[in-house]
Amino acid sequence: MARVLIIIYILAMLGVAVQLFLPSLRADQSHEYAEIKPVKVRIENFTLKTVMGDRTVSLKEFVKGHRLVLISFMAPWCDNSIYDAPTINKLYEKYSDKGLEILTVSNYAPAEELMSFVEQFNFVHTVVLDTRVKDENCRLNSRHYQFRKNLGDNRKWGTPLNVFVIDGQLDSPHVALGELIEANAIAFIESFLSRPSKAKRE
C-alpha cells in the first residue's frame, strides 16, 4: 500500500512539473524571430499623433537628419510585440546617443491599451497611435497592412514589424518581419553607425 501511495505521489508531482513546463515551452514555440533584410519597397510617409496626444509626428520629418531610425510597428495585445519590447528598449538605451532613433507605431488597439503597454515597458522613445480597432475591416484597410502586403508578409496581424531607415531614405529600408534577433540587430546597428553617413560622403 505504501509503495502504491509513493507511486501516486510521484506521478502527481510529474503532472505538476509538466503543467509548469508546458507554458514556457509554448511561449518559446510562439516566437516569430526574423533577420533584418534589405527590401526595395518604399515606406510611405504618414502623420500620426503621439500616444499622449500632445504633438503630431510626420515620418518624413522624423527620419530627417537621423543616421538610423527603427520604426517598430506593434500591437499592445500581441504576444510577439510584448516579447519584442525589451529588445527595443535595450537598443534605444544602448544606441540612442550614438545615432539611433526609434519610433513605435501602435495598431489595432485604443489609446488606453497602448498607454498601459508604454508604462509597462517604460518606453521613453516616441510612440504614435495609428489604427485603434481590432477588426478585419480595420486590418485590411490599414497602412500597416498595405505595406506588409507589398513586402509579401503573409501573417494575419503582422506584428511586430521592424523597419530600419538609413539616412532618411524611405525607399530602401531594411526590414525584419517579426521580432528582432538581438544579436542580429546589434550587429546591423553597429555596422551602419560605424560608417560615415551618405550626406557626409556626398
Distance of alpha carbon 77 from alpha carbon 16, whole angstroms: 28
Helix/strand/coil for 194 = coil
Confidence class for position 3, pLDDT limits 50, 70, 90: low
Confidence class for position 195, pLDDT limits 50, 70, 90: confident
User: What's residue 10's pLDDT?
Assistant: 62
What does the mean pLDDT of the chain come to? 89
User: What's residue 15's pLDDT?
Assistant: 54
Amino acid residing at 82: I
Mean pLDDT of 148-169: 97
If 0-12 CB within 10 Å is exposed, 13-18 middle and 19+ buried, where does residue 181 land?
middle
Distance of alpha carbon 81 from alpha carbon 74, whole angstroms: 6
